[in-house]
Amino acid sequence: MHGKCGATYESGSLRRYHLGRTETIRSCTLEAQIFARTMSEEHNETANNTKYDLFLNAMKAHRQYTNDAINAKGIDRHLLGLRLIAMENNLPKPALFDHISYKRAMRYTLSTSQVAAKHDCVMIFGPAVDDGYGCCYNPRRDSINYMITAFKINNGGTDVKEFSNHLDRSLTDIRKLIELNTTKTMKSKL
């Protein structure tokens, strides 16, 4: 939709640890990008079974990143800790925190959170940056409820309706891809 992949924040719970809060699940993995680009090719001649394999690779990478994050093996809170230690001890800020790649990685143009509930409901929160989106979602047995937000006035050209249309189309395409490549119904592991 915007022609590029942006930093994505997904909240991962660390509540299993004493005073644990959250870690960042970075869902914009290389595997997810390859799958998304393949699915969105204009004159797509990629075989469905190849697309499905790319989907499985993206899902596997996301699961691994999620497991690492919720088991305190993520990077974001460790880096935050180092930055805060330097600030609190009046130490010079490490050069890493001024590097363009770090700044880009920390500028979440898509902030997401799964709030699973048995009831037909969805939560809402705003985007993390002026030209970004917030997307809270509730996966259900046969559907996904979601709410997308963006600031009304921004310089980034956000468009909630267009984002929603793209998301609906993407989810429908993925569902069709799964149905074409599986003989049994996949069940959510929630």
| Per-residue pLDDT tens over the stretch 152-172 | 876 668 999 999 999 999 999
Q: How many domains does the chain have?
A: 1
Q: Is the pLDDT of residue 184 over 60?
A: no
- Mean pLDDT, rounded, for 95-113: 94
Q: With respect to residue 135, please indicate whether it lies within any of the assigned structural domains.
A: yes
User: Packing angle between helix 30-39 and helix 160-181, nearest 10 degrees?
Assistant: 90
What is residue 7's predicted lDDT score, i.e. its pLDDT?
Answer: 92
Q: Which residue has the higher pLDDT, 103 or 120?
A: 103
Q: Is the pLDDT of residue 69 over 80?
A: yes
What is residue 24's predicted lDDT score, i.e. its pLDDT?
Answer: 94
Q: With respect to residue 65, please indicate whether it lies within any of the assigned structural domains.
A: yes
Which three-class secondary structure state does DSSP give residue 146?
strand
Q: Is the pLDDT of residue 132 over 60?
A: yes
- Kindly state the tokens that stand for 6: 């942006």
Q: With respect to residue 94, please indicate whether it lies within any of the assigned structural domains.
A: no
- Mean pLDDT, rounded, for 116-140: 89
Q: With respect to residue 69, please indicate whether it lies within any of the assigned structural domains.
A: yes
Q: Is the pLDDT of residue 190 over 60?
A: no
Q: With respect to residue 25, please indicate whether it lies within any of the assigned structural domains.
A: yes
Q: With respect to residue 1, please indicate whether it lies within any of the assigned structural domains.
A: no
Residue 6: pLDDT band by 50, 70, 90 thresholds? confident
Which residue range(s) make up the domain with 129? 7-74+107-181
Q: Is the pLDDT of residue 111 over 80?
A: yes
Find the CATH number of the domain harbouring 58: 3.30.559.10
Virtual torsion, Cα 8, 12, 14, 15, nearest 10 deg:
140
Q: With respect to residue 114, please indicate whether it lies within any of the assigned structural domains.
A: yes
Expressed in angstroms, the distance from the first to the final Cα of the chain is 29
* Closest of 169, 153, 116, 158 to residue 134, by C-alpha: 158
Q: With respect to residue 39, please indicate whether it lies within any of the assigned structural domains.
A: yes
